[in-house]
A and B are shown apart, each in its own frame.
Chain A
Amino acid sequence: MGFIRPTWWPGRERNPASAARLDAVAQLREERARRWRESAAADALQGSLISLAAVLGTEVRDSADELVGRLRDVVVHWSTAAAYPPATAIVVRSGRRDVLIGASWIEASAPASVRLRSAAAYARTVERRPGEVALAHDVLDRQVVDKGGTQLVRPSDVYLAAVDGRIDLIGIEVGPRALLRRIGPGRLRRHVRPERVIDWATIRSFSPARPDEVRPHRHPSALAGQTGAVLELDVAAAELRELGASDIEAALRSADEKEGDGSS
């Protein structure tokens, strides 16, 4: 018996405890790799995500670099047809009044810049049309509840993305870092990095908290939407899956490709 059979070789463990340890190490490695991927995806997204919190209040200029006004709101048309609804207009504070400028006149770039395509744009008075959601007024900082009505969180930011000439609403940020970004110094606001994003597609309905009881006062420049407006999710809190940065990237890429197929 000159040959001694080895008791261990790579891949086969001597006892169950060390096998479990190796499993745990593998899991940790996987987790770290996943985090690294997410972090890389988040870095990549910095060039394509538009943060509503950062873009609100910024100057809107036309193609001749003339100041039009300051951005007050972004309006999207919300229908079940599109998972990521496109922006239809922006509300700009021009002088002492708010005007609505259609999305076809504007171009946006990440992380926080909106300007007009031409030197002249058709502006109309602000009014609420059915199916429209004013993001700063109706979504940012409003109450999000789950399917069962449990109060979950308030969105600290809303992410949009410029996709093939359109501006699509991607999701709402509910992470605490986005909140700190808004509270902290202004230049930090442009450092957009998704943290905990709820897919807009999981939002089922949008309603004032007490539709019948508070009668809104009609004011020409007020977009409707009462205090206590509530965003209701399609899922229960326990089943809620937040989008990672890589999910957002994949969604953006698929939207891009679909758009490419459609136009060719």
Chain B
Amino acid sequence: MSALDTPNAPASTPAARLPHWLKRVLGFLAILGPGLIAANAGNDAGGILTYASAGAQFGCRTLFLMVLITVALIVVQEMCSRLGAYTGEGLGALIREQFPLRSGASAMVLLFVANAGLTVSEFAGVGASMEIFGVSRYIAVPLALIAIWAVTVLGSYSRAERVFLVMGLVFLAYPVSAFLGHPHTGAVLSNLLWPHFLHSKAFLLLSVALIGTTITPYMQFYLTSAVVDKGVTPKSYGGERIDTINGAILSDVISVFIIIATAAAIGGTGPLSSAAQAASALRPVAGAAAEQLFAVGLLGASLLAASVVPLSTAYAIAETAGVERSLSRKLREAPFFYGLFSAQLAIGAAVALLPGNAVELVVNAQVLNGFITPVLLTYILILANRRSVLGDAANGPRFRALAAVCVAIVGALSAVVLLQTVVGWL
């Protein structure tokens, strides 16, 4: 069976009386899972800000880039879920077993720090979105913390997965916002099908930011571990593969709608600096409704990512250490795993509530993502190429070439943004 084999039909419930279309819809919903959650978590608070900024600064010009990013995202996510399904091990475990201890350990430390920064920014997103509804962040953030902790720690994997999927539904607010903004259809289509890139430093940096926010390390760690935790095996991988590819496409369609919505409202006015500004930018076109929708979307995005980011840390580090790690275990059965998750969650919420510029300082930890992404993608590529790891499910020559090109481009661009931020180069 090759890596790109036709997938098996998903196991559907025996419901012969249901109409055909409904059965198809239910069959489709049944396979939704880790792939969709991981990709949706990529549209987090920082992501929304970046997409909105792209729309405000360059209108629809970045749309073709989003098409290319989607291809790269599918390639990377597919490798991750295949690794999880065929080896039964998450990325943290595979890196410990297959690579030198030192490089693996440093990757884990970087992941921990970068994810800590991201968790803070997700909670800041929760606070910002609830303040649009007039709820103080000092009430909203602790409530969100308790809700996320309860769903994740007290339930099983399948219950947590269902809650995460429902949170993702909130993203449908963005297409609504986009249509309320009456975008120019012709311009949107031509930008989607043909590149309209600008030769400028600002455009390059924004492109890199778009890639960096769409293909992130925590998504790969979460996806691989969640596939393992869900119990996907090589036999049931077909359905998981559809979920992964669908998830990548759906989440990027939403990103595209965010860009279109902001481009229609305030395209060409310059870069944005805050989520609240992005929300108010929609006001002249769609009235107060657009702002509320934007806030709802931001809340769902932040809540989902605030669950997924600390989970990916906990999975990765517990796998590296080899201790019990599964959402289906009870708190007492996996103390290290849940302890890491709870600690990162609590620290993230606490720092997000600190007054002053603490948030901005920590959000700079996102720069670390630019450091890990190339390294991690290289690891994933090597692992997925190895026949000693995946047996016959290893990358074939054509997929290997495509994946290598994707990894090289994403890696190089991440390195560019890292250099730009750290050294002030460019």
In angstroms, Cα B86 to Cα A152, docked, is 22
Q: Which residues of A contact B88 (CB under 8 A)?
A: 209-210, 228
CB pair B93–A143 under 8 Å, yes or no, is yes
Contact status of A227 and B102, CB under 8 A, knowing A151-B324, A213-B234, A213-B235: no
Give per-residue flags for B282-310: 1 if the beta carbon is below 8 A from chain A beta carbons, else 0.
00000000000000000000000000000
Q: Quick one: closest B residue to A230, CB to CB?
A: B88
Closest B residue, CB atoms, query A156 = B101
Does any Cβ of B come within 8 Å of A44's Cβ? no
Contact of A219 with B86 in the complex, beta carbons under 8 Å:
no
Interfacial residues of chain A within 199-252, with CB under 8 A of chain B in the complex? 209-210, 213-217, 219, 222, 226-228
- Per-residue CB proximity of A149-190 to B under 8 Å, as 1/0? 011111000000000000000000000000100110000000
Query: Is B322 in contact with A217, judged by CB distance below 8 angstroms?
Result: no
Say yes or no: A227-B101 contact (C-beta < 8 A), given A152-B323, A154-B322, A213-B234: no
Q: Which residues of A contact B323 (CB under 8 A)?
A: 151-153
Cα separation A167 to B88 with both chains bound (whole Å): 34
Q: Is B135 an interface residue (CB 8 A)?
A: no
Q: B391 contacts the other chain (Cβ, under 8 Å)?
A: yes
- State whether the Cβ of A141 lies closer than 8 Å to any Cβ in chain B: yes
Cβ A179 vs Cβ B93 within 8 A: no
Secondary structure type dominating chain B contacts: helix
Contact A216–B86 (Cβ < 8 Å) = no
Tell me which residues across on chain B come within 8 A of A152, comparing CB atoms.
Answer: 322-324
- Asked whether B233 lies within 8 Å of A213 as measured between CB atoms, the reply is yes
Asked if A116 is an interface residue, CB under 8 A from chain B, the answer is no
Contact A182 B101 (CB under 8 A): yes
Instruction: List residues of chain A with CB within 8 A of the CB of B97.
Output: 141-142, 227-228
Q: Is the CB of A151 within 8 A of B322?
A: yes
Question: B residues within 8 A CB of A183?
Answer: 101-102, 105
A227 touches B389 (CB 8 A): yes
Q: Which residue of B lies closest to A210 (CB)?
A: B88
CB distance from B82 to the nearest CB of A (A): 12
Does B87 touch A at the CB level, under 8 Å? Answer: yes
A141-B97, A213-B234, A214-B86 are contacts. A227–B388 as well, Cβ < 8 Å?
A: yes
Provided the pairs A213-B86, A214-B86 are in contact, do residues A153 and B321 lie with their beta carbons within 8 angstroms? Answer: yes
What's the Cα separation between A211 and B321 when bound, in Å? 23
Tell me whether A217 and B388 are in contact in the complex, defined as CB-CB below 8 angstroms, given that A153-B321, A228-B89 are known contacts: yes
Q: Measured between C-beta atoms, what is the minimum distance from A98 to chain B in Å? A: 14
Q: Is the CB of A144 within 8 A of B101?
A: no
Quote the shortest CB–CB distance from B390 to chain A (angstroms): 7
Q: From B105, B233, B391, give the contact of A215 (CB < 8 A).
A: B391
Q: Are A219 and B387 in touch, CB under 8 angstroms?
A: yes
Which residues of B are found within 8 Å of A214, using beta-carbon distances? 86-87, 234, 390-391, 393
A150 — nearest CB in chain B belongs to which residue?
Answer: B324
Task: Please tell me if B360 contacts chain A, counting CB pairs below 8 Å.
Answer: no
With a cutoff of 8 Å between Cβ atoms, the chain B residues found around residue A226 in the complex are: 87, 388, 391
Q: What separation, in Å, do the CA atoms of A153 and B320 have in the docked complex? A: 9
A209: chain B residues within 8 A (beta carbon): 87-89
User: Complex formed: what's the CA distance from A150 to B336 in Å?
Assistant: 13
Cα(A213)–Cα(B388), bound, Å: 13
Contact assessment for B101 and A179 in the assembled complex, using a CB-CB cutoff below 8 Å: yes
On whether the beta carbons of B96 and A141 are closer than 8 Å, the reply is: yes
Q: Report yes or no: B388 in contact with A219, Cβ–Cβ below 8 A.
A: yes
A227 near B322 with CB under 8 A, answer no
Q: Is the CB of B101 within 8 A of A217?
A: no
How far, in whole Å, are A217 and B320 apart by their CA atoms in the complex?
A: 25
**Which residues of chain A come closer than 8 Å to B333, judged between CB atoms?**
150
Roughly how many angstroms separate A209 CA and B98 CA in the complex, as a whole number?
15
B94 within 8 A of A: yes
How far is the CB of A78 from the nearest CB of chain B, in Å?
Answer: 20
The closest CB in chain A to the CB of B325 belongs to A151
B322 / chain A contacts, CB cutoff of 8 Å: 143-144, 151-154
Q: A217: which B residues are within 8 A, CB to CB?
A: 387-388, 391-392, 394
CA distance A141 to B98 in the complex (A): 9
Identify B388's interface contact among A151, A153, A222, CB under 8 A.
A222
In Å, the complex CA distance between A142 and B320 comes to 10
Q: Decide: A141 near B87, CB < 8 A? Known: A151-B325, A219-B387, A227-B388.
A: no
Bound CA span A77–B324, Å: 30
> A141-B101, A154-B322 given as contacts; is B391 within 8 A of A216 (CB)?
yes
Min CB distance B284 to A, Å, is: 56
**Min CB–CB distance B65 → chain A (angstroms):** 35
Considering only residues 59-114 of chain B, those with a C-beta below 8 Å from chain A are 86-89, 93-94, 96-98, 101-102, 105
17 A-B Cβ contacts within 8 A? A141-B96, A150-B324, A150-B333, A151-B322, A151-B323, A151-B325, A152-B323, A154-B322, A183-B102, A209-B89, A210-B233, A214-B391, A217-B387, A217-B392, A219-B387, A227-B94, A228-B87
Residues of B participating in the A interface, judged by any CB pair closer than 8 Å: 86-89, 93-94, 96-98, 101-102, 105, 233-235, 320-325, 333, 387-394
Q: What is the interface of chain A, defined by CB distance below 8 A to chain B?
A: 141-144, 150-154, 179, 182-183, 209-210, 213-217, 219, 222, 226-228
Q: Which 10 A-B pairs have the closest CB atoms?
A: A154-B322, A217-B387, A215-B391, A214-B391, A151-B324, A153-B322, A213-B234, A227-B389, A227-B87, A209-B88
Given A152-B324, A183-B105, A216-B388, 18 more pairs with CB closer than 8 A: A141-B101, A150-B333, A151-B322, A152-B322, A154-B96, A154-B320, A183-B101, A209-B88, A213-B233, A214-B391, A215-B391, A215-B392, A216-B391, A217-B388, A217-B391, A217-B392, A226-B87, A228-B93
